């Protein structure tokens, strides 16, 4: 018989999971006002900042995977916020660009992110924020190290 997990098993992992879930739920509520789902704003922000991008570059820069990015781009295209077109130099490559309609959402998206940051940080002093960022960077590095195949 398999023994049930203790509620105390993996307290750090549980805390990260709960925090990430709450953060994503808040982001979803804030972005809903702009008519977006979490993650779509990252695509738009990348396109606004860097201009038209190859689909493969969006996948890489947003640390996504091709199927997820394709679905996100399709949803954004359906709502008229992005446009896909073949590259002028290589027809096998798809270029994604933000539309004028998406640019009208930029202030709302930036406001949502500002509010998300404000609520996440709360009253933490700058020094404590820096400590938390450093700790999260260490956790991320640990997880990335585990993702690398042996011998790399």
Write out the two tokens for 8. 């105390």
Sequence ranges of the domains in the chain: 37-143
Banded pLDDT at 151 (limits 50, 70, 90) = low
User: pLDDT for 91-147, tens place per residue?
Assistant: 889 999 999 999 999 999 999 999 999 999 999 999 999 999 999 999 999 998 877
Structure pTM? 0.81
How far, in Å, CA of 152 to CA of 130, rounded?
Answer: 30
- Domain 37-143 indexed as CATH 3.30.360.10: no
How distant, in Å, are the alpha carbons of 11, 135, 146 from that of 16?
9, 12, 17
DSSP 122: T
């Amino acid at each position: 018989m398999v023994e049930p997990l203790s509620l105390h098993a993996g307290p750090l992992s549980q805390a990260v999971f709960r925090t990430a879930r709450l953060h994503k739920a808040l982001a979803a509520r804030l972005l809903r006002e702009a008519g977006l789902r979490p993650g779509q704003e990252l695509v738009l922000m990348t396109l606004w900042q860097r201009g038209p991008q190859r689909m493969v570059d969006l996948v890489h820069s947003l640390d996504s995977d091709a199927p997820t990015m394709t679905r996100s781009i399709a949803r954004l295209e359906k709502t008229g916020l992005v446009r896909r077109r073949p590259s002028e130099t290589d027809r096998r490559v798809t270029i994604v660009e933000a539309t004028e309609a998406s640019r009208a959402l930029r202030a709302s998206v930036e406001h949502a992110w500002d509010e998300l940051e404000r609520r996440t940080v709360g009253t933490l002093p700058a020094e404590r924020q820096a400590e938390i960022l450093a700790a999260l960077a260490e956790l991320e590095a640990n997880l990335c190290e585990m993702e690398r195949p042996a011998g790399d």
